[in-house]
Amino acid sequence: MNNLQEKDPAKSANIFKIVDSLDDLIKVFIVRGIVFIAEQKVPYRIEMDEHELSALHILGERDGEPIAAGRLRFLGDWAKLERIAVRKEYRNRGYGHAIVDYMLNVARTKRYHKFKMHAQAYLCDFYARHGFQIRGELFKEADIDHYLMVWDEESH
């Protein structure tokens, strides 16, 4: 098994970090450019918004190559997970679930236990595996079908 085929999320957890440099922020934007702008055809003016400089960004990289990204924002009692992406050639190896776990743990360290997201509709089962549940009706964001999904881990 080469290092692109690693399937162990525990092992892959240490590939993630909270962005704390311009270099890492550029890598995050490159991943998002590849995945959301090039692959999913999200317009640049929607992909990049006014929250970029205040949000907390997560980067996943292997051997200096940026492979995954995510963004966290803290809104009242809620941690909102956004812009979760894994580059196509690195998918189905556990990185997607691992970056969600990492983001949830980052939020927990900041004492957030209510999580929400606008989930692309095709991924509801993927996020349900982390505890998220659909709230409300299907809606469009960047012309892509989404559901609001929420998880209050202290209500269980």
Ligand X SMILES: CC(C)(COP(=O)(O)OP(=O)(O)OC[C@H]1O[C@@H](n2cnc3c(N)ncnc32)[C@H](O)[C@@H]1OP(=O)(O)O)[C@@H](O)C(=O)NCCC(=O)NCCS
In the complex, the smallest distance separating the C-beta of residue 82 from ligand X, rounded to whole angstroms, is 8
| Rounded-to-10 torsion of CA 114, 118, 132, 19 | -60
With binding defined as CB under 6 A, does residue 114 bind ligand X?
A: no
Q: Which amino acid is at 84?
A: I
131-133-136 Cα angle (round to 5): 165
User: 20 vs 141, which CB is nearer to ligand X?
Assistant: 141
User: 26 vs 121, which CB is nearer to ligand X?
Assistant: 121
Buried b (16+ CB within 10 A) or exposed e, 27-47: bbbebbbbbbbeeeebeeeeb
The region of 44-52, 58-66, 71-79, 95-103 touching ligand X under the rule CB under 6 A is: 95-103
CA distance 102 to 116: 15
Query: Alpha-carbon Rg of the chain, whole angstroms?
Result: 15
Q: Pick from 32, 71, 80, 93 the residue near ligand X by CB under 6 A.
A: 93
User: 90 vs 112, which CB is nearer to ligand X?
Assistant: 90
The residue assigned the tokens 């970090």 is: 17
With binding defined as CB under 6 A, does residue 69 bind ligand X?
A: no
How many chain residues interact with ligand X (CB under 6 A)?
Answer: 17
With binding defined as CB under 6 A, does residue 85 bind ligand X?
A: yes
Which residues make up the interface to ligand X (CB under 6 A)?
A: 35, 84-86, 91-97, 119-120, 122-123, 126, 129
